[in-house]
């Protein structure tokens, strides 16, 4: 099994940037589709972005397009989420997730492995 640990969250002013990292252990992430989800207080966990096994194909939800970029470094066994132009609505706990079967998915039910999350707070 793969274990995932997120880092890089924190408090940032609106318009600022953060880079989240997801370090994997136990298995190589080269066998997993990787994704980021987020969950704001009182809301459902929602899809943010996903990336295929090699990093050649990635997509993100409309609300973060042009601002967030998902990437992966299989050699470092790490996935990243670069977040730019942050706004208050981006405040949430951000979770890294891994999916065994090939094929990108926005559904959290398709991802069997999760990290503990890292908190991102954007101040106005």
- Residue 2's pLDDT band, with cuts at 50, 70 and 90, is very high
Q: Round the average pLDDT of the chain to a whole number and report it.
A: 95
CA neighbor of 91 nearest in space, from 117, 48, 121: 121
Number of Cβ within 10 Å of residue 83's Cβ equals: 25
Q: Report pLDDT for 56.
A: 86
Q: What are 59-108's pLDDT values in tens digits?
A: 999 999 999 999 999 999 999 999 999 999 999 999 999 999 778 899 99
pLDDT for 101 equals 77
């Amino acid at each position: 099994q793969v274990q995932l640990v997120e880092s890089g969250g924190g408090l940032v002013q609106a318009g600022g940037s953060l880079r989240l990292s997801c370090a994997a252990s136990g298995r190589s992430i080269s066998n997993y589709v990787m994704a980021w989800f987020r969950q704001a207080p009182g809301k459902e966990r929602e899809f943010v972005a996903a990336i295929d096994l090699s990093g050649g194909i990635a997509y993100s939800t409309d609300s973060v397009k042009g601002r967030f970029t998902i990437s992966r470094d299989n050699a470092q066994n790490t996935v990243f989420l670069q977040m730019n132009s942050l706004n208050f609505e981006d405040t949430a706990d951000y979770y890294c997730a891994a999916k065994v079967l090939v094929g990108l998915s926005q559904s959290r039910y398709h991802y069997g492995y999760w990290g503990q999350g890292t908190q991102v707070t954007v101040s106005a």
